[in-house]
């Protein structure tokens, strides 16, 4: 029996080195015990550092899968991966076999890990550490799998300018605005007490029953969303919906029943249950809160957050894009990335002030695929556009724009409800059934992608013309 002893529960590099050495030596999976315990198995033959360099390659997809599987809490994960690696020599197509029990189990483990990482990104809440010398935030979280280290870079990107520590039973990670350090797991006793949690619940309810104390729209204007998102009373909303819907309903019902709160509750319910036909969202804030916890389609799973529209509450001119891009997904605001820059430049040339308009998207979550570390945009499908149309319609009803500009084909599908070719329809006003005027034009990303400089300049000039026409129809210029 051989013992492969790894340095930690998520020691992927250690597993890889040991697996290569064992396979090069021809040690069968049944003859290996994988452990991270230092004291056990001392009577067994430990794995000596092997000089045998393993002369084989494995599919990149297997390496990616293995990196995730290692974070799963299942005790047989290292053995399972070694068995797959072992089998790959004779069965090079194994990785593509959807029916193979080892592959199915590995994929399920990887999926569970990615769900745990998503939950950590969505539901971890930082709190200000009282009495610290400098402004420091801490969060306690118990991930379903060992995803803390792998997820930490996400929080670094998201909260680069904050000092923070994430405490979990597996590991603690701390960021001091320059370096990320990892230390041993914390004791659950370090978690905020039940009482403290209760206090936060109360604060949350107090805040929604007293709009003067928490007005997300106003707060968004006054301080960056990144900070207010982490005020416990604001941040609790998704957590409440996820973990304590019944309790939330009971507590909300116990409070004074004013129309705005009823509408907020209804918006939250609409976010979870597409068949619910209760009252429609009563304000743009209700929509923003609903979008944040929306489960009407699956796109929320991989996105950082839902991105609601923003702008003048009763704007005569509404712009609808496709979906948030990478930067919008991180910032929580529409059109702030490269496409947003083209849009703003063209708007300025057309003489339209963005802050007098309302800017939103047909789909509120970022659909993408991972390529290495990069998130590559994927066009939302018709089902996703239809699911999200519910929020777009709610925005249209509340903002009541005179003119709606659809930036690209997905926006046109979201607004009009059927495919509308851009080339044949751009540049002229279309009468929409709700008596607003519609105008389809290019999506700014399309302009960015055009390879030919002349075609690009021509399309850009047409785009500016379309925005100018929209500004005139909306009587903004």
Binding-site ranges for ligand URA (CB under 6 A): 321-325, 328, 334-335, 337, 339-340, 361, 445
* Dihedral (Cα; 37, 39, 40, 43), 10-degree rounding: 140
With 0-12 CB in 10 A as exposed, 13-18 as middle and 19+ as buried, what is 253? exposed
Q: Strands 430-431 and 437-441: what pairing?
A: antiparallel
Alpha helices per DSSP H over 277-337:
284-292, 326-331
Q: In whole angstroms, how close is the CB of 351 to ligand URA at the nearest point? A: 22
The DSSP annotation for 181-208 comes to EEEEPPPGGGSPPHHHHHHHHHHHHHHH
Give the separation between CA 360 and CA 410, rounded to whole angstroms: 12
Q: How many CA atoms lie within 13 A of 444 on its CB side?
A: 24
Q: In whole angstroms, how close is the CB of 307 to ligand URA at the nearest point? A: 7
Q: In whole angstroms, how close is the CB of 388 to ligand URA at the nearest point? A: 12
In the chain, what is the greatest distance between 2 CA atoms, to the nearest angstrom?
85
Q: What are the structure tokens assigned to 77, written together?
A: 């994960």
Cβ nearer to ligand URA, comparing 250 with 376:
376
Helix (H) or strand (E) holding 376: strand 374-377
Q: In whole angstroms, how close is the CB of 371 to ligand URA at the nearest point? A: 18
Q: In whole angstroms, how close is the CB of 325 to ligand URA at the nearest point? A: 4
Q: What are the structure tokens assigned to 275, written together?
A: 């068949």
Tokens 């209804």 correspond to what residue?
A: 266
∠ CA 423-394-232, nearest 5°, is 120
Cβ nearer to ligand URA, comparing 114 with 323:
323
Tokens 């777009």 correspond to what residue?
A: 392
Q: In whole angstroms, how close is the CB of 218 to ligand URA at the nearest point? A: 22
Q: Are 147 and 116 in contact (CB under 8 A)?
A: yes
Q: In whole angstroms, how close is the CB of 441 to ligand URA at the nearest point? A: 12
Cβ nearer to ligand URA, comparing 12 with 335:
335
Cβ nearer to ligand URA, comparing 357 with 445:
445
Cβ nearer to ligand URA, comparing 95 with 339:
339
Output the residue with the shortest Cβ distance to ligand URA. Answer: 321
Q: Strands 358-361 and 310-311: what pairing?
A: antiparallel
Tokens 């009009």 correspond to what residue?
A: 416
Cβ nearer to ligand URA, comparing 162 with 336:
336
Cβ nearer to ligand URA, comparing 325 with 401:
325
Q: Which residues contact 63 (CB under 8 A, 6 or more apart)?
A: 16
What long-range pairs does 12-20 form, CB within 8 A, spacing at least 24?
A: 12/66, 12/67, 12/70, 15/66, 15/70, 15/78, 15/81, 15/82, 16/63, 16/66, 18/47, 19/81, 19/82, 19/85, 20/53, 20/54
Q: In whole angstroms, how close is the CB of 464 to ligand URA at the nearest point? A: 18
Cβ nearer to ligand URA, comparing 305 with 323:
323
Cβ nearer to ligand URA, comparing 149 with 344:
344
Cβ nearer to ligand URA, comparing 165 with 361:
361
Give the separation between CA 284 and CA 263, rounded to whole angstroms: 11
Give the separation between CA 414 and CA 405, rounded to whole angstroms: 12
Cβ nearer to ligand URA, comparing 236 with 362:
362
Give the separation between CA 12 and CA 153, rounded to whole angstroms: 17
Q: In whole angstroms, how close is the CB of 374 to ligand URA at the nearest point? A: 16
Cβ nearer to ligand URA, comparing 23 with 368:
368
Q: Are 340 and 311 in contact (CB under 8 A)?
A: no
Q: In whole angstroms, how close is the CB of 321 to ligand URA at the nearest point? A: 3
Q: In whole angstroms, how close is the CB of 360 to ligand URA at the nearest point? A: 8
Q: In whole angstroms, how close is the CB of 367 to ligand URA at the nearest point? A: 11
Give the separation between CA 39 and CA 159, rounded to whole angstroms: 40
Q: Report the b/e string of 24-50 with b at 16+ CB within 10 A.
A: eeebebeebebeeeeeeeeeeeebeeb
Three-state DSSP state, 180: strand
């Amino acid at each position: 029996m051989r013992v492969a002893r790894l340095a930690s529960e998520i020691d992927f590099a250690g597993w890889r080195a040991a697996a290569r050495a064992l396979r090069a030596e021809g040690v069968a999976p049944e003859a290996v015990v994988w452990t991270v315990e230092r004291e056990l198995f001392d009577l067994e033959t430990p794995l000596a550092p092997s000089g045998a360099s393993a002369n084989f390659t494995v599919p990149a997809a297997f390496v990616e899968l293995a990196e995730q599987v290692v974070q799963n809490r299942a005790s047989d994960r290292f053995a399972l991966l070694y068995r797959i690696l072992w089998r790959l020599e004779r069965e090079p197509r194994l990785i593509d076999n959807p029916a193979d029990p080892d592959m199915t189990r590995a994929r399920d483990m990887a999926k569970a890990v990615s769900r745990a990482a998503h939950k950590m990104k969505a539901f971890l809440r930082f709190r200000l550490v009282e009495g610290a010398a400098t402004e420091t935030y801490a969060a306690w979280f118990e991930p379903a799998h060992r995803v803390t280290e792998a997820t930490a870079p996400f929080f670094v990107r998201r909260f680069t300018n904050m000092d923070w520590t994430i405490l979990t039973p597996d590991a603690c990670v701390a960021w001091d605005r320059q370096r990320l350090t990892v230390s041993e797991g914390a004791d659950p006793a370090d978690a905020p007490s039940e009482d403290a949690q209760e206090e936060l619940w109360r604060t949350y309810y107090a805040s929604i029953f007293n709009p003067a104390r928490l007005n997300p729209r106003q707060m968004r204007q006054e301080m960056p969303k990144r900070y207010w998102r982490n005020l416990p009373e604001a941040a609790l909303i998704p957590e409440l919906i996820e973990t304590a819907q019944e309790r939330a309903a009971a507590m909300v019902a116990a409070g004074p029943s004013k129309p705005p709160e009823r509408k907020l509750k209804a918006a939250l319910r609409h976010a979870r249950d597409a068949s619910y036909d209760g009252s429609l969202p009563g304000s743009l804030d209700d929509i923003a809160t609903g979008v944040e916890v929306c489960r009407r389609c699956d796109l929320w799973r991989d996105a950082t957050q839902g991105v609601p529209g923003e702008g003048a509450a009763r704007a005569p001119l509404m712009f609808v894009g496709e979906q948030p891009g990478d930067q919008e997904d991180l910032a929580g605001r529409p059109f702030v990335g490269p496409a947003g820059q083209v849009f703003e430049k063209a708007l300025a040339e057309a003489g339209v002030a963005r802050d007098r308009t309302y800017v939103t998207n047909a789909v509120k979550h970022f659909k993408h695929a991972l390529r290495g570390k990069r998130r590559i945009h994927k066009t939302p499908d018709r089902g996703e556009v239809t699911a999200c149309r519910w929020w777009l319609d709610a925005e249209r009803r509340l903002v009541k724009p005179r003119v709606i500009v659809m930036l690209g084909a997905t926006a046109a599908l979201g607004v009009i409800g059927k495919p509308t070719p851009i080339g044949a329809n751009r540049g002229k006003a279309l009468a929409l059934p709700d008596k607003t005027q519609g105008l389809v034009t290019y999506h700014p990303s399309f302009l960015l992608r055009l390879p030919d400089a002349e075609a690009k300049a021509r399309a850009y000039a047409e785009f500016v013309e379309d925005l100018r026409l929209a500004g005139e129809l909306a009587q903004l210029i």
